[in-house]
Amino acid sequence: MDERIEKLKQVAQHGNIDAFYMLIREDAKLLEAIDELPFVDTPLHIAASVGNIPFSMEMMRLKPSLVSKPNLDGFSPLHLALLNGKIEMVRRLLQVDGDLVRVKGKEGITLLHFAAAIDDHLDLLVEFLSVCPHSIEDVTIRNETALHIALKFNNLEAFKLLVGWLRQNRSKNAMFWERKVLNWKDDEGNTVLHVAVSKNQPKAVSHLLASTYDVDVNVKNLEGKTARDILQGSEQTQAGRKIKVMLHRAKALKASSLPKVTSYADYLRPKVGRREKFRIRRTREQHTISDERRNVLLVVATLLMIVTYQGILSPPGGLWQDDYNPGTNESNTIAPNGKINTTLHSQEAGAVIGSRKTSFGFFMLLNSVTFMLSFTIIFQLIPSGYCYVMFQAALCFLYFCYLASLTVIKASTGTGGFLISGSALLYNIVDVKLLEDIDQLPFVDTPLDIAASAGHIPMAMELMRLIPSFSWKPNPDGFSPIHLDLLNGQTQMVLWLLKIDGDLEHVQGREGMTPLHYAATTDIHLELLDEFLKVCPQSIKDVTIQNENALHIALKYDKLEAFLHLVRRLQKNWSQNTIMWESNVLKWKDEEANTALHIAVSKNQPKAVRKLLYSGVDKNTKEPITVYQTCPKNLKGNTAGDMLGQQNQIENRKIKVMLRHAGALPASSLPKVIYYARYLWSLFSYIEKIRMHCIGEWTEISDDRCNMLLVVATLLLTVTYQGVLSPLGGLWQDEYHPEPNTT
């Protein structure tokens, strides 16, 4: 075993995948034996440290647990890749699982912590936080965050970037992270403000205090010192004086000047007032209400508000439609409602007809009480925060509308036999636990592999029904049954397997090749390409260990028809997220950061270039419509335009014209923009801060609560719109032109 492990390490050093599978044929459980060791230099450690990306991706696909296993020095493969400067290796591994940013190495150091300690890894910081935002919370065994480490190693730019990311982060729980991380204490009780002051870093202090209101400037460390106390020894320096001014503006105090208030003082009071008892009880009830019950209460209360408000818009008895002024000498007069009026009371248009009745006063009292109680319930149930202020404001406006309304009213089978015979034969010759024993082996030629390769469809179907996992298991050569079918030309078997489980389109064989990738290597399987994409449209996003998608592979093997077919299917796909898929797949970069356009240009394929660049012809200008970004750079820093100029053969004029028309530029002509520069801003306007807080709160709202708020807002919108359609006092039904001499 030890000899085979040493051979495997040598294979990993050279990145020889074929030699690896030869060792697997000798011992199918070789990787399992290595994985059982708690501390070991796995093949993935060795391949990652030297930058063998294809071999590393194959190991990651076969045995994902190796990626988080520490070696004898306490480092994972990702840590070794980063320490050895294999940045592209790190990116490829994180592409498989972004949470690997949180894998801890020696002393609890994560990838984010390593990047924060090095000055020239600002781009990596942003990438790590993009793929795994939660990594900002990770701490070392010294309880230090990435912000503590950046200041500890005097990496000011990294610190500013981390603070800026926290400030502008819009993901879920972003506001909680900002408060938590900026006030986090290390094992000595120091926050990042303590560390920045002790390091005499005025720029760090300025960036920290200017970015947010959530920094506690008066928190004490384990020595009982605030940031102001730590500064006391360096106030005479120029940097110290700057920091002193900033701390003074932020109302930072020395520990001796802080009010001596114990955290348990409130619990020692002998008596609690009646008002406070009510407030405490109300708060307890608010915290014990589940989201589901809160949503129900909000909807019911909103409906009550609507119906009571509607009662004001259309009061019982109706409204007077005309002004009525009885003459002084008239004893009996016909009122506007057609009845004889003996009371001789004047009425104005828009007034309630039954306003003088006791029953109407009783209705108005109960209606108003119901409205006010519903208003109070909604106001109490809606959480606090910037985002909810809009709902509270809408409620207040509706409240004032109700009050104004009161004033206005007062004034106005073929294979069945084969299947049965195959099943009977199988049950007669197979031991009960034999299939389960085969399934326990990591690399094995299963009965499904053999049946599929030979084209025995009924037998294969029965085996797949009994042990579904056989269809995903690789043989010692790294191929699954569906891969063997494709390699042996068993097209009907492939279609039968996909009918049972369409997700088999995602199964990866040797070097991460999926069935779609294999079909893209030939022009004779165009109907299979159609079937694969019909059964599983998402398979177009799958990539190999070289990070190549089906478009890359078709161009790599000079299969123009397959490539054009894939692009056409992408453009005609109407499934969900189609636009995003089309954009991501067409712009996807392989391990050398080449897009499909890079490869099409390097292969001198004008038809492929045209298909990528143009989606059609504009009906007005008769010019091609450009749909592709033409200026991405690969790892060598070359754009598609640069690659065209590097060709040794005669320059392809068609491609050159198309690239120029699409606005393609050489790398030397592209503007130099640092994409993480926005995180380094030190000052934000008051409006921008409020906007970021609002966005942060919106991202923290659960789907249930969001649905509830939509219902409440829609109901409020409905009732206010109804108020416009049916205004208080009603509308004049006829035109009225009084004669000038009428008395």
Distance CA 267, CA 264 (A): 6
Q: Higher-confidence residue: 419 or 383? A: 383
Q: Higher-confidence residue: 166 or 733? A: 166
> What is the per-residue pLDDT for 418?
39
Distance CA 411, CA 473 (A): 82
The model's pLDDT over 4-39, given as tens digits with 9 standing for 90+, comes to 888 888 999 999 999 999 999 888 888 998 999 899
The model's pLDDT over 461-511, given as tens digits with 9 standing for 90+, comes to 878 888 888 888 898 888 899 988 888 888 888 888 888 888 888 898 888
Distance CA 134, CA 479 (A): 36
pLDDT at 619 over 50: no
User: Hey, how many other C-beta atoms are within 10 angstroms of the C-beta on 194?
Assistant: 25
pLDDT at 234 over 90: no
Would you tell me which CATH number, out of the four given (1.25.40.20, 1.10.287.470, 3.40.1170.60, 3.40.50.720), belongs to the domain 1-96? 1.25.40.20
> What is the per-residue pLDDT for 58?
92
pLDDT at 94 over 60: yes
Per-domain boundaries in the chain = 1-96, 280-411, 435-507
Average model confidence (pLDDT) across the chain = 79
* Burial degree of 739 (CB within 10 A; 0-12, 13-18, 19+): exposed
Topology (CATH level 3) of domain 435-507: 1.25.40
User: Hey, how many other C-beta atoms are within 10 angstroms of the C-beta on 440?
Assistant: 8
The model's pLDDT over 113-155, given as tens digits with 9 standing for 90+, comes to 999 998 778 888 989 998 998 999 999 999 999 999 999 999 9
Is there a common fold for 1-96 and 435-507? yes
> What is the per-residue pLDDT for 166?
85
Distance CA 664, CA 680 (A): 30
> What is the per-residue pLDDT for 66?
93
- Tokens 């509270």: give the residue: 392
> What is the per-residue pLDDT for 20?
92
Secondary structure (H, E, C), 217-277: CCCCCCCCCCHHHHHHHHCCCHHHHHHHHHHHHCCCCCHHHCCCCCCCHHHHCCCCCHHHH
Distance CA 55, CA 44 (A): 8
Confidence of residue 301 (pLDDT cuts 50, 70, 90): confident
State pTM to two decimals: 0.65
The model's pLDDT over 425-470, given as tens digits with 9 standing for 90+, comes to 444 444 445 677 778 888 888 888 888 887 888 778 878 888 888 8
From the centroid of its chain, how far is CA 308?
A: 41
Q: Higher-confidence residue: 112 or 352? A: 112
| Interval 582-594 mean pLDDT | 84
- Tokens 């065209």: give the residue: 644
H and E: helices and strands count for the chain: 37, 4
> What is the per-residue pLDDT for 104?
93
| Interval 352-379 mean pLDDT | 79
DSSP 477: T
Nearest alpha carbon to residue 28 among 394, 315, 371, 437: 437
Distance CA 442, CA 512 (A): 16
Confidence of residue 57 (pLDDT cuts 50, 70, 90): very high
Contact criterion met (CB below 8 Å) for 388 and 382: yes
- Helices 2-14 and 17-26: angle between axes, nearest 10 degrees: 160
* Burial degree of 671 (CB within 10 A; 0-12, 13-18, 19+): exposed
